[in-house]
Structure 1
């Protein structure tokens, strides 16, 4: 046998299970399928078809939604072929490892479970993130999106998927329907997928906050996020036995200037809680300066200010309750605070 003698094709049965019905031409070559053999299999009435350039569907019918996703990743993955474990187990089945390709946009949101995203079979296009220097064009149903650095993907249904904030930004970049944008952003927060600040950070980096319909959706998102954070704060006080504060009040010096509003205030302890719901927008520095000035002014009057973030209230509610309880207990060791007038906000 010479080096030009074609190899006998290896069995392809293990490549035809589930999503492995989508393979690359390089994988087929590694199993002994020649160019002529591939052309024969992919003839119009043949058993295979070309799904995307160098990506083959090992059956003649239309691809399933799952096969379209795997096909998009196979197309976008680097030339190094996805590895298949030599000895698959129940915990480690045959799953391709996609090098430097991550699903994003509406497809990623659908995988994350967003009810406001179209179902996967209804998507005309699948967005895939790749690193910017790569020469790879959008083709067929695959839209290639370049980024300086790939986000750390989440694994959903065996697929590398962009985190929700990044997937949202990539989806919003293609949407002009204001209501669709608002629904997606609101579900991100209401569904507990992420905090508003993370979404706004990604939208800012993508330079999307200049679009009026996106700005309106962000305002609704921030209002939704604040409402959820306030509910968590109410729950924290009740569940962890903290004394009842007065809620959402303005503080003023008697006959003097307005000191600022706080989300909760314990007059007998001179302790205030304020929710830090700032979002990373262009005016962030100015807003933080305002927070800092208010805190400094109140603490000069002997009032302890505790800042709580929505994320900490979501993930570490008991710990935040302990922070507030400590501030309340320490009030007896401090000099009496200045008298302030408490008014509804």
Structure 2
């Protein structure tokens, strides 16, 4: 075995937070021995332990940026640069920031300031053997989402960060605020949030269910506003809005969000929440759509996400359906009622 030590990497090469927060392994790669670490961290010394195996290389309190880096270094498996490499940014393995800290990084005004958080939630694979300690709270997952990079840090996407934050929140108003901001702020769709809350088994908590109901109502209201905007901005003929369809003297066929009687074209917003009865809800929706189409009604299915991300494309889909009406056989006569 070759026990020749690697040439040390100079600490002076690093900049900003990367030179202020380093792990034991990183310090060793820079030629710092365990004895020198102990000496530097003596009472009154220039360094201090931040977390097990992670050191703050200056006296005084850690900044929020330093605490984030330190928590990621503790929970992750930072890659030590090979001899000759000079990476400016540490890599944190599979660890990522989640929970309220992640929401703060995503720009949520309803999340506490980073420096006011006692603990920073770090998401890691379930197989990692780590314990929560100091400013780092370990959150485990069977499968990790793909992180987003914010200020050079790996951060859980909003739906997952929300679920991890809600798991620790007991105040109903706080839960409602973060969920509402996720939708109003355009961070994600309600369905993605409910999926993560359901996966985390949080929908059995009364204050979470109440907040989800408000979230879904908020999401539907925003989607309806975007649908009105689509018709207005892209010059589509005015439909009748939010109506129930019936056969004359026959059964109720279901409600639609917009309907053009002359062209027999309907638009339905899919704002269903993914829950345990998802299969049953989908079957009911599919039966309604198939019934309407058998009667000659063209049903355009639009999700809130499509309206948010591709409004012009959705307007083209609806316009195409309206134009194609002239080439179709006449639809069955329906009674249109407000709902």
TM-score by length of 2: 0.95
SS in 1 for 2:49: strand
Seen in structure 2, the aligned counterparts of structure 1 residues 287 and 232 have a Cα distance that, compared at 3 Å, is same
SS in 2 for 1:194: coil
> Aligned-pair distance for 1:283?
1.4
Seen in structure 2, the aligned counterparts of structure 1 residues 236 and 6 have a Cα distance that, compared at 3 Å, is closer
Following the alignment from structure 2 to structure 1, what is the Cα–Cα distance between the partners of residues 303 and 227?
A: 10
Following the alignment from structure 2 to structure 1, what is the Cα–Cα distance between the partners of residues 83 and 277?
A: 49
Aligned position for 1:135: 129
Seen in structure 2, the aligned counterparts of structure 1 residues 8 and 245 have a Cα distance that, compared at 3 Å, is closer
SS in 2 for 1:272: strand
SS in 2 for 1:286: helix
On the 8 A contact 2:78/2:90 being kept in 1, the answer is no
**Number of positions where the alignment pairs a residue of Structure 1 with one of Structure 2:** 338
Aligned position for 2:293: 299
On the 8 A contact 2:7/2:83 being kept in 1, the answer is no
- For residues 305-324 of structure 1, what are the structure 2 equivalents within 5 Å? 305-324=299-318
Following the alignment from structure 1 to structure 2, what is the Cα–Cα distance between the partners of residues 6 and 36?
A: 16
Aligned position for 2:145: 151
Seen in structure 2, the aligned counterparts of structure 1 residues 290 and 4 have a Cα distance that, compared at 3 Å, is closer
Q: 2:157 aligns with which of 163, 184, 190?
A: 163
SS in 2 for 1:298: helix
On the 8 A contact 1:107/1:126 being kept in 2, the answer is yes
Seen in structure 2, the aligned counterparts of structure 1 residues 150 and 327 have a Cα distance that, compared at 3 Å, is same
Q: Give the root-mean-square deviation of aligned CA atoms.
A: 2.0
- Structure 1 residue 219 and structure 2 residue 218: aligned? no
- For residues 225-240 of structure 1, what are the structure 2 equivalents within 5 Å? 225-240=219-234
On the 8 A contact 2:47/2:59 being kept in 1, the answer is yes
- Structure 1 residue 43 and structure 2 residue 37: aligned? no
Aligned position for 2:250: 256
Aligned position for 1:201: 195
SS in 2 for 1:63: coil
On the 8 A contact 2:78/2:91 being kept in 1, the answer is no
On the 8 A contact 1:178/1:214 being kept in 2, the answer is yes
Following the alignment from structure 1 to structure 2, what is the Cα–Cα distance between the partners of residues 226 and 310?
A: 8
Aligned position for 1:71: 70
Following the alignment from structure 1 to structure 2, what is the Cα–Cα distance between the partners of residues 300 and 4?
A: 78
TM-score by length of 1: 0.93
Q: Could you tell which deviates more after superposition, 5-14 or 265-274? A: 5-14
> Aligned-pair distance for 1:8?
9.5
Following the alignment from structure 1 to structure 2, what is the Cα–Cα distance between the partners of residues 14 and 103?
A: 26
On the 8 A contact 1:83/1:97 being kept in 2, the answer is no
SS in 2 for 1:43: coil
Following the alignment from structure 1 to structure 2, what is the Cα–Cα distance between the partners of residues 100 and 278?
A: 33
Q: Could you tell which deviates more after superposition, 178-187 or 255-264? A: 255-264
On the 8 A contact 2:54/2:74 being kept in 1, the answer is yes
> Aligned-pair distance for 1:9?
7.0
Following the alignment from structure 2 to structure 1, what is the Cα–Cα distance between the partners of residues 298 and 202?
A: 38
Q: Deviations over 1:82-111 (max 9, x none)?
A: 7899456xxxxx211111111100000000
Q: Deviations over 1:199-239 (max 9, x none)?
A: 11111111111111111111111111101111111111111
> Aligned-pair distance for 1:20?
2.7
- Structure 1 residue 286 and structure 2 residue 280: aligned? yes
- For residues 268-283 of structure 1, what are the structure 2 equivalents within 5 Å? 268-283=262-277
On the 8 A contact 1:200/1:280 being kept in 2, the answer is yes
